[in-house]
Amino acid sequence: MKSVKVLGTGCAKCKQLYQLIADYKAEHQLDFELEKVEDIMDIMAYDVMGTPALVIDEKPSFVGLPSKQELAKLLNAN
């Protein structure tokens, strides 16, 4: 099973990214675990340069808010 994590301390963009992924997952009936990571020490362990960040199968994959097309490419490629 694929693991998808949204890294962020709870800011509006972090919440927006989480919701964008949750909506995409439901709309396309994808099977993966979606998790929010808000603890700063856990976020730092991924060595990302900003938030929100998207981690797919434990690999940092995107920083910021992807477009719907970018998100589809990221989630369907993995």
What positions carry a catalytic annotation?
11, 14
* Residue 4 and residue 62 in contact, taking contact as beta carbons nearer than 8 Å: no
Parallel, antiparallel, or unpaired for β 59-63 and 32-37? Answer: unpaired
Nearest to 34 by CA among 8, 75, 5: 5
* Residue 54 and residue 14 in contact, taking contact as beta carbons nearer than 8 Å: no
